Amino acid sequence: MIFKEIYLYPELSDYGKDINFPFKEQTRSLCNYLERYIKSEKYQTTNFKRVCFVGRKNPKKHNYVNSCNVLEVEFFLDEKIYLNTPKNQLNEYFISLLLTGLSKCTDEFSLPCEKIVEGIKEFKNAGYKNEWIFKKKKIKGTKIECHLKCRLTIEKFFLDLLIFNKDSLVFEKNIVTDFPNEFVFNYHLKDLKVTEQSQIEVVDKLDKIFFSMNVNDIK
């Protein structure tokens, strides 16, 4: 199997939904960044494609793979530290927990730890920003190029439309703001189309055009 997914969260039965739910969303910015960072490695495992680093009050000493092909790595989580950590320090706190979990990964259930740590350093060097270009489209016969840019923070997911003329940004607009959860925001991410009439169309997973504009309307 190819290892693709990284999750970090507290066990629901130990801490309740008031801690589990926001924690799970806040960690997606970091974990999503790392998933994209290690993607090119195509790291092979024997029987799991996802790792879940799970905070527990009484964590198991040994890691295990469950029936859903998920590697579970448990560690002790003090909810008071989480609740008292300022928002601008949460990413650093989540990184410390992730590193604790990585230190428990043995040869039996190995992970690309060096690559993940390298990704963590890149995330920190980028100012804890998780941004990427989802789609690009050029308008034929012009030097205009349209980008769909994703931004994922601890609080929100943003989808922005950017239009460049040569190398100059001439238009920028946020077209989606949603929860920082892939099960929610991935719905918006399917395609970017440009018609022969220079009409820009952003299409969701249901093939619905949820945003459109004409390049000629840019002032």
Range of the domain at 135: 130-217
Q: Does residue 104 sit in the same domain as residue 149? A: no
The tens digit of pLDDT for each residue in 72-112 reads 999 999 999 999 999 999 999 999 999 999 999 877 788 99
Residues 116 and 140 in one domain: no
Q: Pick the last residue of a domain from 125, 148, 163.
A: 125
Q: Which amino acid is at 38?
A: I
Q: 97-100 long-range CB contacts below 8 Å, 24 or more apart? A: 97/8, 97/53, 97/55, 98/6, 98/8, 98/30, 98/31, 98/53, 100/53, 100/75
For 39-54, what is each residue's pLDDT tens digit?
Answer: 999 999 989 999 999 9
Q: Check the CA dihedral 27-52-181-116 and report its sign.
A: positive
Question: Does residue 219 carry a pLDDT above 70?
Answer: no
Say yes or no: 110 and 198 in one domain: no
- Cα gap 1→65, rounded to integer Å: 13
Say yes or no: 141 and 89 in one domain. Answer: no
In a shared domain, residues 94 and 138: no
Q: Per-residue pLDDT averaged across 131-153, rounded?
A: 94
H helices within 66-193, ranges in order? 79-83, 90-102, 113-125, 182-185
Q: Given its phi and psi angles, is residue 207 left (phi above 0), alpha (psi -120 to 50 degrees) or beta?
A: left
Residues 111, 12 share a domain: yes
193 shares a domain with 180: yes
| Domain termination residue (choose one: 110, 125, 140) | 125
How many distinct structural domains can be found in the chain?
2
Assign 18 to helix, strand or coil. helix
For residue 10, the model assigns a pLDDT of 98
Same domain, 138 and 106: no
Contacts of 86 (CB under 8 A, 6+ apart): none
Tell me which of 95, 125, 155 is where a domain ends: 125
Q: How many CB atoms lie within 10 A of CB 19?
A: 19
Distance of CA 103 to the CA centre of its chain: 22
Q: Verify that 188 and 204 share a domain, yes or no.
A: yes
Nearest-CA neighbor of 78 among 95, 93, 99?
93
